[in-house]
Structure 1
Amino acid sequence: MNSSNVHPFVAHASDADLDDLRARLASARLPEAETVPSAASGARRWDQGVPLVDLAQVVDYWRTGYNWRLFETRLNAIGQFRTVIEGLSIHFLHQRSRRVDATPLIVTHGWPGSIAEFVDVIDELTDPTNPDAPAFHVVVPSLPGFGYSGKPTTSGWGIEKIAAAWVELMDRLGYSRFVAHGGDWGGVITTILGGNFAEHVLGIHSLTPQTPPGLPADTLTVTERSWAEETRDFWAHRAAFAKQQATRPQTIGYSLVDSPVGLLAWILDKFAEWTDTEDSPFEAISMDRILDNVTLYWLTRTGASASRIYSESHDSLDPALRVDVPSALTVYPRDIEKCPRPWAQERFRQIVRWNEPVAGGHFPSLEVPDYFVSDLQEGLAAVLQPH
């Protein structure tokens, strides 16, 4: 490490906080059931949001069966640290590979995710079972206002400042050159890393290739046009959460910090809609792992502060930004934004690998972890080849 300002961190919630959580869950006031047609099945059951029967089941398990201490133990086993950048405490996981040829890799999550998205894939990324696969020194920071990172007390912590902070973070760890991966907000931040910090970034892998605005659709294939239409439909009809958090994060924040059931419903709704499943997110992701993510928000009281990334950064990616470093881009079939390759090529000038998996949604590291790892390994291997 280049700096003595990086300090180990140990996660440990107090018993009082865990008891308080269970007490709040036990005394929760739930509304009446949704009024969707009684014959509705599959995803249609969720047309008005999280169905009462599903939420009640998760609340009961959260109160009586879920064990937060197991997740704490896993985080502490990986290795956790904090450092102060631009006056804000930044928390991150850091696991080094045993391989001498390993490449530094920074992995950035989004909302409503967290570092919990990656705890099951870090080992295979650092020391892969396949000796021919690339190995990485993995750094997974918590975004400002998320998890164990500090909560900004003034405005300004948008995606541009976060990307610059990640460069500083990696330098403090002794990684002057590195690769980057991300999805959701993490994908946008990864794009900025590749576009603005090419002297530090060897290449990127993104699940969220966002295009410059105003591109014509007349050259797209039928499939690519459907992607563009689905993305427009998402932002027109299914993005109320983003508009709320971009315009009134403080208002929704009171519920997210005060009510564990409110927090759970707000986040579970997105895991349900954005995963590649037919009836419930638990078809693809364990209830424990989703509750790890939600409980991390709850115990750190970051429901409001995490929401503010939308007010800081919504629609703020520079339309003129171009990425000249080697880029590997993956578009999962059930993700909420799907970018046609011809449009992606207008921003990403050196696409060395383009992948369209047959399964997976917005949280592939949780939904299809084995595939996610192999795709990331192959994508970054392509990035790291001489070009």
Structure 2
Amino acid sequence: MSTTLDTTTGIQSFQVDVPQEQIDDLRRRIAATRWPSKELVGDRSQGVQLTTLQELARYWTSEYDWRKCEARLNALPQFTTEIDGVEIHFVHVRSRHENALPLIMTHGWPGSVIELLDTVGPLTDPTAHGGKAEDAFHLVLPSLPGYGFSGEPTELGWENGPIAQAWAKLMDRLGYTRYVAQGGDVGAAVTDAMGRQGPDGLVGIHVNLLATALGIVDLLPAESEQERAAHAALKTFTTDGFGYFLEQSTRPQTIGYSLLDSPIGLAAWMLDHDTDSYYKISRAFVDGEPVGNLTRDSILDNITLYWLTGTGASAARWYWEFGQFLHGAAGHAPPPVSAPVGFTTFPGEIWAAPRSWVETVYPGVAYFNEVDSGGHFAAWEEPELFTTEVRAAFSSLR
């Protein structure tokens, strides 16, 4: 799929071109699905509901068009480059505003660069999207190792730290000597690691998930009603919403066989991520009422990307690496973040972090805001609001 190589930087241009037989095979596999009986409850407490998934399957085979997503990706400048033995795919859009601030933004699981695409225009071309020229960013959107069009690591150790180091090398290779970083979900953990490593050129970070909360529950304040609600949400996650996390952090290879062999198994596994986004996605398919940009087509763009690249297992392995990292880091305080930190709390997040929690993890947080809408996939669901937050978080660093 790659075309020309720049021998001075080792950066290759990249285009997506999926053979038609792969798309035909996908449809055949969906049609051959063996369905379980309907769940015995009226909500998602037994998992992804049969009606939701059957409607997704119907749309996937009868109305969805991967070629539209392929064209959308190919309309953007895409590249690959090898870093530390792994081929890294990334979208790189330079703003037409010369004083734009370089920004590297990292997706999560079960996401991909697809979840960030609706922010590309507003972030790189603000004057066309209600902003000012001084709001502009040069945007770098890498695919995590083992995700999407990036290569799969063939050696152990690719947790947040090495990924963060790879991103610093990528920004250096692109010639950016002063830049900022942003992330949610896995991307929040990677961006946090970048902040703690403090590579030359990184002047600030912004995250929208307090990923480190899982390891320091006893240190997080629980006095106010908001703090107690956040603790309750965290407890719900670790007792009832933790299935995918536990399986992927302990046995990613086992679930990987299903994710690579059954497109409906893959879709169900990805939809089951969190309650808020699940019900929003279910509404899009069952009721035809999408919330924000969580539309049927965009959801299937993301799932189909995982299917066509065969990355269900390799993406899941990040959780195993993260689990090994957490085990090794237990009892050791992490190094402080060396750059200013911005944080936005979206109300539908798995645990919506109050300011006191953010200050526990990031003392002296430089920017904090709680917004009124959006959930775990904030950039995807609410790209305009998300863009506003990113602009605000980094405005003092320009």
Per the TM superposition, whether the score is higher than 0.5 is yes
> Structure 1, residues 275-326: CA drift from partner, whole Å, max 9, x if none?
6849636531101000000000000000000000000013736542321311
Which is helix-richer, 1 or 2? Answer: 2
1:228 to 218, 231, 237: 231
Aligned residue number for residue 352 of structure 2: 338
Would you say the 8 A contact 2:143–2:149 is kept in 1? yes
Aligned to 2:3: none
Matches within 5 A, 1:143-292: 143-209=144-210, 210-211=212-213, 213=216, 215-216=218-219, 220-270=223-273, 273-274=276-277, 277=280, 280=283, 283-284=290-291, 285-292=294-301
Work out the CA distance in 1 between the residues paired with 2:51 and 2:217.
Answer: 43
1:337 to partner: Cα distance: 2.8
Which residue of structure 2 aligns with residue 91 of structure 1? Answer: 89
Secondary structure of 1:8's counterpart equals strand
Q: CA RMSD in A?
A: 2.0
Q: Say which SS state the counterpart of residue 78 (structure 1) adopts.
A: coil
The 8 Å contact of residues 81 and 92 in structure 1, kept in 2 or not, is answered as yes
Alignment of 1:26-45 (within 5 A): 26-36=31-41, 40=42, 45=43
The answer to whether the 8 Å contact 1:2/1:173 transfers is no
Q: What corresponds to 1:299 in structure 2? A: 308
Q: CA contact under 8 A between 1:255 and 1:262: conserved in structure 2? A: yes
TM-score, normalisation: structure 2: 0.90
Structure 1 pair 267–214 and aligned structure 2 pair: CA distance change class (3 A): closer
Q: Secondary structure at the match of 1:297?
A: helix
CA offsets 1:81-132 (integer angstroms, 9 cap, x no match): 0000111100001100000110110000110000000111101100102225
Greater Cα shift, 246-255 or 343-352: 343-352
Determine the structure 2 residue equivalent to 1:134: 135
Shift of 1:226: 1.5
Q: Which residue of 1 aligns with 2:24?
A: 19
Residue from 5, 10, 16 that aligns with 2:10: 5
Tell me the residue number matched to 2:65. 67
Instruction: State which of 376, 380, 385 in structure 1 corresponds to 2:394.
Output: 380
- Counterpart of 2:381 in structure 1 is 367
CA 1:343–1:255 in 2, change beyond 3 Å: closer, same or farther? same
TM-score, normalised relative to structure 1:
0.92
Return the offset for 1:350: 3.6
Between 322-331 and 309-318, report the one with greater CA deviation: 309-318
Instruction: Give the superposition deviation at 1:176.
Output: 2.3
Q: How many pairs were matched up?
A: 377
Gapped runs of 5+ residues in structure 2? 1-5
Cα offsets for 1:55-84 (capped at 9, x unmatched): 111101111111111111111111110000
- Partners of 1:331 and 1:338 within 8 A in 2: yes
Distance change in 2, residues 1:198/1:222 (3 Å): farther
Q: Tell me the distance in 2 between the aligned counterparts of 1:182 and 1:218.
A: 24
Kindly tell me: are residues 277 and 63 of structure 1, through their superposed partners in 2, closer, same or farther at Cα, counting changes over 3 Å?
Answer: closer
Question: Taking every aligned residue pair, what percent have the same amino acid on both sides?
Answer: 42
1:276 and 1:360 in contact (8 A); partners too: no
SS at 1:149 equivalent: coil
Using the TM superposition, give the Cα deviation of residue 274 of structure 1 relative to its aligned residue in structure 2, in angstroms. Answer: 3.4
